[in-house]
Amino acid sequence: MNTNSILIVDDESSYLDLLKGLLNDEGYKDIITETNPLKVFDILDSRNIDLVLCDIYMPEMDGMELLEKLTEKFPHIPVIMVTAVNDVKTALKAIDRGAYEFITKPPDIDRLFLTINRALEHRLLSLERDTLREIRELHRKKWKKDFADIVTESPLMHKVFELAAIFAPTNETILITGETGTGKDLIAKKIHNLSPRSSKPFVVVNLVSITPTLFESELFGYEKGSFTGASNEKIGYFESANGGTIFLDEIGEMPKELQGKLLRAIQYNEIYRIGSSKPVKLNTRIIAATNKDLMEAINKNEFRADLYYRLTRGFINLPPLRKRNGDIRLLANYFLTAGNLIYNKNIMGFTEKALAELNSYPFPGNVRELENIILNCVAKTKDKTFIEKVNLLPFSANEKLSGYKNEEDLLLTIDEAVKKHIIKIMEYTNQNIQKAAAILGISERTLQRRLQEIRKKK
């Protein structure tokens, strides 16, 4: 049996009876017939109708006029127009005015049923599509408010918000990728704040800053007496984030031998404290971030593929600032306001030349670099004037950058080349960690760790 309700409007009651009988036989049991088109809206207002079959020539009201009113007031109800005359012109007019289809009277039964079935299917699809659109619109309105403190007008960032809002209420692991300074920390915290875990801890663990030998004790904790010096038990990061979110930052920098240990904790959401054989079951949501291309790291055998897939139930990639149209100007003004507050000044704005300079700069350090540049400018600019010049790194050829001319440079191993490049960039930026990290596309912490290693090896 078919549960759809069909309304047939025709001034000839004998035709109505005939059609009703035919449809009943075909399994359509809920058929309403009406000879007076003026009563149609009372019916539609009082009950659910899935489809209307409507005669074109009726004395009280022209079918075409009824069709127009119908499609305007009930856009989801498909209308099939029926007429005794095989009039192509009227047929086309009806379609033009929103009829789903047009059939002639007396109807070809097969064609009638086929058209009715198609129209009902079409209705379902368009309802689904509109419901989806409404949900999306609601969603959009919601994230606009939720993400209002993240300054952007870039559609690429709006996509990021949309995704973040979808993942936030779930317990899925999320990997956030993007160049340094693109806002990975910001988005991770936002996801936590928008989740049902928001009142529980958000624990940030920077995986590069943990000494490998202390990795397990820092992450999983230890029992009292488990090793010399363990005079009290210690709760690790995973346990202290229980009920909340643990943010594993710079996951791409983690030594491979430690990745397996992390995998276990993520896979089973349980950990073993050092010195205990009893697992501690946890309810910790995991968000990880990296500025490294993990796929490339997997190919180079530096990152475990199984860990990667555990981490990426949700995946968010933050676009670099240079790809966010209009955001450089927007953020520059935002940081100018912040700078005015910090330095208790009233810098009026930027000259067009300064803005043009900012807009043509590639910002390897992204939003963080822009923030630092603008705050620096505000500090240095005279009160109540405009910022005329911005202190950017010259990206043009620079003699300090020309190097690698000797033959021995061609014989360097990758490690040696990386080391040499880091040292070059440090020289180039006059040992400015922040600028060097921005050029190298790594975080300041990673750069500091690399520098420590270089110094140790010297």
Ligand X SMILES: Nc1ncnc2c1ncn2[C@@H]1O[C@H](COP(=O)(O)OP(=O)(O)OP(=O)(O)O)[C@@H](O)[C@H]1O
- Which stretches of the chain bind ligand X, using CB under 6 A? 150-152, 178, 180-186, 291, 367-368, 371, 443
Q: 4 or 173, CB closer to Mg ion?
A: 173
Contacted by 284, from Mg ion, ligand X, none: CB < 5 to 8 Å by type: none
Q: How far is the CB of 219 from ligand X (least distance, A)?
A: 19
Q: 143 or 272, CB closer to ligand X?
A: 143
Q: How far is the CB of 263 from Mg ion (least distance, A)?
A: 22
Contacted by 178, from ligand X, Mg ion, none: CB < 5 to 8 Å by type: ligand X
Q: 185 or 270, CB closer to Mg ion?
A: 185
3-class secondary structure for the chain?
A: CEEEEEEEECCCHHHHHHHHHHHHHCCEEEEEEECCHHHHHHHHHHCCCCEEEEECCCCCCCHHHHHHHHHHHCCCCCEEEEECCCCHHHHHHHHHCCCCEEEECCCCHHHHHHHHHHHHHHHHHHHHHHHHHHHHHHHHHHHHHHCCCCCCCCHHHHHHHHHHHHHCCCCCCEEEECCCCCCHHHHHHHHHHCCCCCCCCEEEEECCCCCHHHHHHHHHEECCCCCCCCCCCEECHHHHCCCCEEEEECHHHCCHHHHHHHHHHHHHCEEECECCCCEEECCCEEEEEECCCHHHHHHCCCCCHHHHHHHCCEEEECCCHHHCCCHHHHHHHHHHHHHHHHCCCCCCEECHHHHHHHHCCCCCCHHHHHHHHHHHHHHHCCCCCEECCCCCCCCCCCHHHCCCCCHHHHHCCHHHHHHHHHHHHHHHCCCCHHHHHHHHCCCHHHHHHHHHHHHHHC
Q: How far is the CB of 309 from ligand X (least distance, A)?
A: 22
Contacted by 151, from ligand X, Mg ion, none: CB < 5 to 8 Å by type: ligand X
Of all residues in the shown chain, the one whose CB is closest to Mg ion is: 185
Q: How far is the CB of 201 from Mg ion (least distance, A)?
A: 18
Contacted by 172, from Mg ion, ligand X, none: CB < 5 to 8 Å by type: none
Which residues sit at the interface with Mg ion, rule CB under 5 A?
A: 184-185
Q: 329 or 420, CB closer to ligand X?
A: 329
Q: How far is the CB of 455 from ligand X (least distance, A)?
A: 22
Q: 218 or 371, CB closer to ligand X?
A: 371
Q: 133 or 144, CB closer to ligand X?
A: 144
Q: How far is the CB of 73 from ligand X (least distance, A)?
A: 44
Contacted by 30, from Mg ion, ligand X, none: CB < 5 to 8 Å by type: none
Q: How far is the CB of 158 from ligand X (least distance, A)?
A: 12
Q: 83 or 182, CB closer to ligand X?
A: 182
